[in-house]
A = this chain, B = another copy of it.
Amino acid sequence: MKFCSNCGAPLSHRIPPGDTLPRHVCDACSTIHYQNPKMIVGCIPEWEDRILLCRRAIEPRYGLWTVPAGFMENGETTFQGAARETLEEANARVEVGPLYALYNIPHINQVYMLFRARLLDLDFSAGAETLEAKLLSEAEIPWEEIAFATVRNTLTHYYADRRKGEYQFHFGTIERASGRPV
């Protein structure tokens, strides 16, 4: 961030009066440009004992598997975002259920929110950012080819909860130092 998006003047980077953190500040028009974390919203689309996963056709993690998820947009709710991403990535319609997992990823300024969801029909296919969309049983989950730690952790909890017969909300933080890719 080098120029003011309001007036086009060059920005300074300093702590504004009354604030505690350095911000991008415009000395010409006095606008303060805050930068805040972004939400990634998605779901686990369920069909009987299988779930719908997508193999990524984009970077990062091209070729690896994920649940349908992406950046939440302005003007939508978290669960609407999860349904929209599922439609975009897998051309699939879901009824979004309860929030299942929330992960903080502070070093990349993201918060992941993944819902359970009911896949409404089998008329799905790979979207533009997906190589392949597929219903998989637990035995078929490609654990070594999961794109993100958030998804790997969520699916691990998901199958453990399923065996216990009770799904509970999971909350966690993905640290940079985990040694595994996020």
User: Which chain A residues have a beta carbon within 8 Å of chain B's beta carbons?
Assistant: 1-8, 10-11, 18, 20-21, 24, 33-39, 71-80, 88, 98-99, 102, 104, 106-107, 109, 111, 128, 169, 171, 173
Least CB distance from A182 to B in Å reads 14
Residues on the B chain within 8 Å of A8, using CB: 2-3, 8, 10
Q: Closest residue to A80 on the B side, CB-wise?
A: B106
CB distance A72 to B2 under 8 Å? no
A128 to B18, CA, bound (A): 8
Partner of A36, one of B2, B6, B38, B80: B38
Given the complex of chains A and B, what is the CA–CA distance between A169 and B76 in angstroms?
21
Q: Known interface pairs A36-B39, A39-B37, A171-B99. Does A75 touch B3 (Cβ–Cβ under 8 Å)?
A: no
Taking the closest CB of chain B, its distance from the CB of A54, in whole angstroms, is 16
A-B contact pairs, 21 of them (CB 8 A): A1-B6, A2-B7, A2-B8, A3-B3, A3-B7, A5-B24, A8-B8, A8-B10, A35-B74, A36-B72, A36-B73, A39-B111, A72-B111, A75-B107, A75-B109, A76-B106, A77-B106, A78-B111, A79-B104, A98-B171, A99-B102
Q: Find chain B residues with CB under 8 A from A104 CB.
A: 77-79
User: Which residues of B lie under 8 Å from residue A78 when comparing CB positions?
Assistant: 102, 104, 111
Query: A154 CA to B111 CA in the complex, in Å?
Result: 21
